[in-house]
């Protein structure tokens, strides 16, 4: 066996390096799979629609693109109006069914991908700011791969585990002196160790980069690698003339250099200190402290040392500014690293590495082999190493299944009633929402949210109730200095018997890096959706939120355990909506009621039931029949038979078992109608 083989054996087997490498890849892949979230979740939730439009504009911004967006925007808005008109005409009897179907189907096709258009349009707004170096592409993959300045903490630990014993073990075994007295034990042995470290670290770095590339390619796709880097908004202001793929390669090379520099630092520290603890401590602090300590993000890329290179993405970012509301001026939050600065940082870092390697070789060399040695500096090594260090430095809970009792209607999203209480939303004199409940027998009224500390919390207007629980949502805020920001969205369940509260779902909203070390950061797109939630309901495994995204009303399903979110569907006009514990009822663009089974994910339209306003009761679907001058009808949920309840057109109605209260369209008077479901 050669020295190489022995050193490999020592590193990978005797020091358990192979085990650590396997553990690293296991954890690394695990964290990627579990923790990765798309930069723009909207795109992933509307992949098909987004793709439809992206495929048409993918590539550079041209005049044609401009025309395309203008015409497409007009087409969509015209289609909306036309569909409404065609529907009205059909239900008013002006056109036949065949004509209606032909027209509405073609219009529905145009509107089908509206949300995709909105997403691509947002991209268009970005691209047209600087069409020379921005192109249309699906950015999630590249954003995941490139648009972050995160440090691979697990990789740092792995490098420490692999490299620290290289020399420290020799000192621990007291082999250092003996090795210096044998022919190949000094320089050759040391060079072999350094070479091995460089090869292993490089391999691991490249495999990690490949793994990340593979992961993002598989999960989101990494097409259009030849597009300019500025196509990603993270690098929007960059003046570097590189493509995405080139950037990835450069960043990988940068990371490789950074990790090699880090490995050199570890080797250097271990040769100087000869002990594990101080080597690990000094090397960890050199990387972690500037990473977490430097306030201006670009600082870490302007100081020599491994850190900037280990992150590397910052070398490709441009100047970024943020408006200071107090001073009313733009403040620099990221300073572009110019090529000259990069060369200087690289040169100093490279020189530092060379100096460290020379010191390592010098210290691991037999006196008789060195022909001319300068007088040994008596400066304590500790100060030398720490000097280098300084130069581098300064530079959803367990929950019992929800037993759904009764039905949920959008029209009553702010109220709920059971045998004993009536819950509803009340506006306070200060304009805040207050959920109150009224004892039906005594008429006593109390607040449902009984937390006496109301400041920095905003209670949402909608409530949802099932048999024993009533749920409300709230948003918590924090105020530091003069800045107030939303921190968390929560859905709380209150048991109606003893009024104990329990958290059903929580989502972190703050998107800044303010908390502790900034390891957990919310997503702007996700946070903005939570802030628009206007209604919600839930079952034993999921929470359903109705909110706004890209100007459209969406129903999103959220897994209560994992927090995974998906768009169930969009509602063109949110007026009526219902949920019976398993099936969601909503009105589609053709004013037909659609049933969506949350268990089987099957969607079915109720034929011949045309309405925009309906209410679901336990046994019937009450609706204003668009085909019969908006008179109230009832459809039996079991046998689908339909009966007419009023003979006059109705403007609006509400249901309060067993009464329907409605306002007549002609006389605008309010009437009450007793309905006996059993008579049906």
Report, in Å, the least distance between residue 185 CB and another protein: 5
With contact defined as beta carbons under 8 Å apart, do 547 and 526 qualify?
no
Report, in Å, the least distance between residue 284 CB and another protein: 7
Q: Which stretch binds another protein (CB under 8 A): 76-84, 491-499, 544-552, 580-588?
A: 491-499
Report, in Å, the least distance between residue 422 CB and another protein: 17
Identify the residue among 456, 564, 573, 602 touching another protein (CB under 8 A).
Answer: 456
> Which residues in 458-487 contact another protein (CB under 8 A)?
476, 478-482, 487
Report, in Å, the least distance between residue 365 CB and another protein: 9
Identify the residue among 80, 488, 612, 627 touching another protein (CB under 8 A).
Answer: 488
Report, in Å, the least distance between residue 270 CB and another protein: 10
Report, in Å, the least distance between residue 298 CB and another protein: 13
Number of helical (H) and strand (E) elements in the chain, helices listed first = 18, 28
Task: In whole angstroms, give the CA distance from residue 395 to residue 348.
Answer: 12
> Which residues in 151-190 contact another protein (CB under 8 A)?
153, 157, 160-161, 164-165, 168-169, 172-175, 177-185, 188-189
**Does 492 sit near another protein (CB under 8 A)?**
yes
**Does 503 sit near another protein (CB under 8 A)?**
yes
Task: In whole angstroms, give the CA distance from residue 301 to residue 234.
Answer: 16
Pick the closer one to another protein by CB: 400 or 600: 400
> Which residues in 626-665 contact another protein (CB under 8 A)?
none
Pick the closer one to another protein by CB: 149 or 506: 506
Q: Is 620 exposed, middle or buried (0-12, 13-18, 19+ CB in 10 A)?
A: buried
Report, in Å, the least distance between residue 321 CB and another protein: 14
Using left for φ > 0, alpha for ψ between -120 and 50, and beta otherwise, residue 563 falls in left
> Which residues in 101-140 contact another protein (CB under 8 A)?
none
Name the strand (E) or helix (H) holding 153.
helix 153-172
Task: In whole angstroms, give the CA distance from residue 371 to residue 374.
Answer: 10
**Does 666 sit near another protein (CB under 8 A)?**
no
CB-CB neighbours of 184 under 10 Å: 12
Report, in Å, the least distance between residue 529 CB and another protein: 19
Task: In whole angstroms, give the CA distance from residue 519 to residue 129.
Answer: 32
**Does 326 sit near another protein (CB under 8 A)?**
yes
> Which residues in 11-30 contact another protein (CB under 8 A)?
14
Pick the closer one to another protein by CB: 453 or 607: 453
- Total residues interacting with another protein, rule: CB under 8 A: 96
Pick the closer one to another protein by CB: 479 or 582: 479
Q: Phi first, then psi: what are they for 480, rounded to 5°?
A: -120, 125
With contact defined as beta carbons under 8 Å apart, do 448 and 437 qualify?
yes
Q: Which stretch binds another protein (CB under 8 A): 64-72, 288-296, 352-360, 538-546?
A: 288-296
Report, in Å, the least distance between residue 288 CB and another protein: 8
With contact defined as beta carbons under 8 Å apart, do 490 and 473 qualify?
yes
Neighbouring residues of 517: CB distance < 8 A, sequence distance ≥ 6: 292
> Which residues in 359-398 contact another protein (CB under 8 A)?
366-369, 371, 373, 376, 380, 382-383, 386, 389-390, 393-394, 397
Name the strand (E) or helix (H) holding 652.
strand 650-656
**Does 277 sit near another protein (CB under 8 A)?**
yes
Pick the closer one to another protein by CB: 515 or 605: 515
Identify the residue among 132, 295, 431, 669 touching another protein (CB under 8 A).
Answer: 295
Report, in Å, the least distance between residue 330 CB and another protein: 15
> Which residues in 516-575 contact another protein (CB under 8 A)?
516-520
Pick the closer one to another protein by CB: 288 or 606: 288
Pick the closer one to another protein by CB: 223 or 297: 297
Report, in Å, the least distance between residue 354 CB and another protein: 23
**Does 275 sit near another protein (CB under 8 A)?**
yes
Report, in Å, the least distance between residue 42 CB and another protein: 23
Pick the closer one to another protein by CB: 485 or 548: 485
Identify the residue among 63, 377, 430, 498 touching another protein (CB under 8 A).
Answer: 498
**Does 2 sit near another protein (CB under 8 A)?**
yes
With contact defined as beta carbons under 8 Å apart, do 388 and 204 qualify?
no
Within 274-305, residue ranges assigned H as helices are 276-293, 299-302
Identify the residue among 36, 297, 506, 588 touching another protein (CB under 8 A).
Answer: 506
Report, in Å, the least distance between residue 120 CB and another protein: 34
Identify the residue among 218, 321, 499, 659 touching another protein (CB under 8 A).
Answer: 499
Q: Phi first, then psi: what are they for 513, rounded to 5°?
A: -100, 20
Identify the residue among 74, 338, 347, 500 touching another protein (CB under 8 A).
Answer: 500
Report, in Å, the least distance between residue 161 CB and another protein: 6
Identify the residue among 101, 206, 278, 348 touching another protein (CB under 8 A).
Answer: 278
Nearest one of 653, 645, 670, 669 to 612, comparing CA atoms: 653
SS3 136: strand
Instruction: Tell me the CA distances in angstroms from 368 to 175, 181, 357, 371, 373, one per residue in order.
Output: 19, 10, 20, 7, 10
Report, in Å, the least distance between residue 191 CB and another protein: 13
Neighbouring residues of 21: CB distance < 8 A, sequence distance ≥ 6: 12, 158, 162, 204
Pick the closer one to another protein by CB: 459 or 587: 459
Task: In whole angstroms, give the CA distance from residue 262 to residue 284.
Answer: 10
Pick the closer one to another protein by CB: 454 or 657: 454
Task: In whole angstroms, give the CA distance from residue 632 to residue 645.
Answer: 5
Pairing mode, strands 650-656 and 642-644: unpaired
Pick the closer one to another protein by CB: 496 or 574: 496
Look-up of token digits 């007088």: 375
With contact defined as beta carbons under 8 Å apart, do 318 and 238 qualify?
yes
The dihedral through the CA atoms of 369, 374, 377, 383 has a sign that is negative
Angle, alpha carbons 230-350-257 (nearest 5°): 50
Q: What is the CA radius of gyration of the chain?
A: 33
Task: In whole angstroms, give the CA distance from residue 593 to residue 604.
Answer: 9
Task: In whole angstroms, give the CA distance from residue 595 to residue 603.
Answer: 6
Cα end-to-end distance, the chain, whole Å:
91
Q: Which stretch binds another protein (CB under 8 A): 449-457, 534-542, 607-615, 649-657?
A: 449-457
Torsion, Cα 516 522 523 526, to 10 degrees, reads -170
Report, in Å, the least distance between residue 554 CB and another protein: 26
Pick the closer one to another protein by CB: 73 or 386: 386
Task: In whole angstroms, give the CA distance from residue 632 to residue 641.
Answer: 14
């Amino acid at each position: 066996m050669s020295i190489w083989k022995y050193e490999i054996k020592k590193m990978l087997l005797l020091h358990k390096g192979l085990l650590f490498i396997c553990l690293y890849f296991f954890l690394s892949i695990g964290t990627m799979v579990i923790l990765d979230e798309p930069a723009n979740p909207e795109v992933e939730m509307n992949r098909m629609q987004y793709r439809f439009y992206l495929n048409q504009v993918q590539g550079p911004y041209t005049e044609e693109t401009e025309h395309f967006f203008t015409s497409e925007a007009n087409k969509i808005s015209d289609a909306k109006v036309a569909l409404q008109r065609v529907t009205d005409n059909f239900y008013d009897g002006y056109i036949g069914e065949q004509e209606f179907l032909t027209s509405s189907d073609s219009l529905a096709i145009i509107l089908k991908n509206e949300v995709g258009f909105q997403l691509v349009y947002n991209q268009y707004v970005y691209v047209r700011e600087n069409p020379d170096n921005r192109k249309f592409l699906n950015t999630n993959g590249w954003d995941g791969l490139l648009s972050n300045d995160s440090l691979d903490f697990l990789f740092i630990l792995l490098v420490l585990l692999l490299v620290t014993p290289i020399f420290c073990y020799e000192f621990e075994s007291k082999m250092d002196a003996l090795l210096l007295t044998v022919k190949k034990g000094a320089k050759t042995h040391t060079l072999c160790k350094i070479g091995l470290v460089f090869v292993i670290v490089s391999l691991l770095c490249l495999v990690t980069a490949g793994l990340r590339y593979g992961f993002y390619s598989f999960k989101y796709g990494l097409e259009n690698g030849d597009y300019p880097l500025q196509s990603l908004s993270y690098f929007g202001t960059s003046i570097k003339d590189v493509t995405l793929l080139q950037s990835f390669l450069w960043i990988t090379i940068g990371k490789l250099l950074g990790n090699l520099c880090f490995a050199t630092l570890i080797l250097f520290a271990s040769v100087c200190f000869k002990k594990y603890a101080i080597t690990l401590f000094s090397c960890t602090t050199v990387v972690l402290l500037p990473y977490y300590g430097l306030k201006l993000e670009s600082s870490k890329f302007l100081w020599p040392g491994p850190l900037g290179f280990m992150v590397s993405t910052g070398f490709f970012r441009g100047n970024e500014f943020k408006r200071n509301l107090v001073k009313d001026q733009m403040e620099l939050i990221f300073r572009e690293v110019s090529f000259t600065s990069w060369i200087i940082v690289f040169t100093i870092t490279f020189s530092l590495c060379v100096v460290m390697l020379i010191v390592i070789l010098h210290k691991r060399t037999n006196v008789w082999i060195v022909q001319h040695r300068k007088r040994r500096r008596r400066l304590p090594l500790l100060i030398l190493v720490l000097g280098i260090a300084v130069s581098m430095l300064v530079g959803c809970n367990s929950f019992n299944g929800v037993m759904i009792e009764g039905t949920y209607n959008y029209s009553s999203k702010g109220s709920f009633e059971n045998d004993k209480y009536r819950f509803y939303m009340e506006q306070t004199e200060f304009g805040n929402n207050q959920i109150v409940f009224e004892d039906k027998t005594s008429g006593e009224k109390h607040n449902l949210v009984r937390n006496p500390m109301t400041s920095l919390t905003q209670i949402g207007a909608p409530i949802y109730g099932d048999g024993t629980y009533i749920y409300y949502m709230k948003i918590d805020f924090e105020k530091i200095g003069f800045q107030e920001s939303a921190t968390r969205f929560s859905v709380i369940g209150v048991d109606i018997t003893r009024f104990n509260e329990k958290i059903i779902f929580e989502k972190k909203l703050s998107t800044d890096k303010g908390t502790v070390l900034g390891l957990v950061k919310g997503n702007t797109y996700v946070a903005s959706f939570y802030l628009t939630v206007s209604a919600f309901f839930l079952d034993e495994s999921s929470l359903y939120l109705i909110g706004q995204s890209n100007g459209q009303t969406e129903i999103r399903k959220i897994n209560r355990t994992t927090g995974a979110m998906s768009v169930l569907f969009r509602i063109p006009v949110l007026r009526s909506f219902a949920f019976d514990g398993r099936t969601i009822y909503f009105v589609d663009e053709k004013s037909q009621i659609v049933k969506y089974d949350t268990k089987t994910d099957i969607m079915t339209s109720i034929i011949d039931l045309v309405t925009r306003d309906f209410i679901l009761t336990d046994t019937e679907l009450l609706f204003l029949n668009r085909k019969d001058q908006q008179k109230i009808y009832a459809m039996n949920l079991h046998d689908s038979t339909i009966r007419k309840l009023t003979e006059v057109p109705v403007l609006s109605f509400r249901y309060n078992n067993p009464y329907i209260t409605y306002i007549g369209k002609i006389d605008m008077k309010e009437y009450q109608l007793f309905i006996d479901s059993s008579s049906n």
